[in-house]
Amino acid sequence: MREIHISNVSGVNLEALDEGLRALPGAPVVGISLRRGALIVHLAAEADEAQAAAIRSLVRGHDPQKPSAAQQARKTRDAQLKSAHDDALSARQAASDGATLTLAQQVALLTRRIDWLEKLLEALVKGEKTL
C-alpha cells in the first residue's frame, strides 16, 4: 500500500473528501486518515503517479464547507422533518382552537400530525435520527 502525506491540514470534511477521492477514475484510494494534523491518503500499491497527482490536486481544491451527497441528503431530510414537525404543531394548535371545525377539517389536521409521525418513524428506522 502507498500513502500520500499532506501536512498541516485544517478543516477537512472527511466524509466529503473520502467520497470525492473514491470517485476518481480508477479509484486507487483505500481510504484517508487524519493523524495529528496531517492528512494521509491510503492508496493501492498499483496506484500510478498520474493518479497520485490527481489525488493531490483534489485534496488541494477540497472545500470542507461543501457537503457530501450523504451529508446533503441528511440535511434535506432534517429540513423535511423540521418542516413536518412545525406543521404538526400548527395543526395541533388549530385543532385545539377550532371548536366549530367540521369532521373533514379535523381529519385533515389529524392527517398532518400523522404525516410528521410517519416521517419521524421512518428516520428512526433508517438510523437518521436517534431518540
**Number of C-alpha atoms within 13 angstroms, CB side, residue 68?**
14
Of residues 29 and 84, the one with the C-beta less far from other proteins: 29
In the bound state with other proteins, the residue whose beta carbon lies nearer, of 40 and 94, is 40
Residue type (1 letter), 69? A
Question: From the CB of 122, what's the least distance to other proteins, in Å?
Answer: 14
Tell the smallest beta-carbon distance from residue 60 to other proteins (Å): 19
CB nearer to other proteins: pick between 96 and 127: 127
CA distance 31 to 34: 11
Which residues, 6+ apart, have CB-to-CB distance to 37 below 8 Å?
7, 8, 9, 10
CB of 81 to other proteins, least distance (A): 16
Q: Which is nearer to other proteins, 77 or 92 (CB)?
A: 77
CB of 10 to other proteins, least distance (A): 11
For 26, residues 6+ apart whose C-beta sits below 8 A from its C-beta are 51
Positions touching other proteins (CB under 8 A) are 1, 3, 14-15, 18, 30-37, 40, 42, 127, 130
Number of neighbours of residue 76 by Cβ within 10 angstroms: 11
Query: In terms of DSSP bridges, do strands 2-6 and 38-43 run parallel, antiparallel, or are they unpaired?
Result: antiparallel
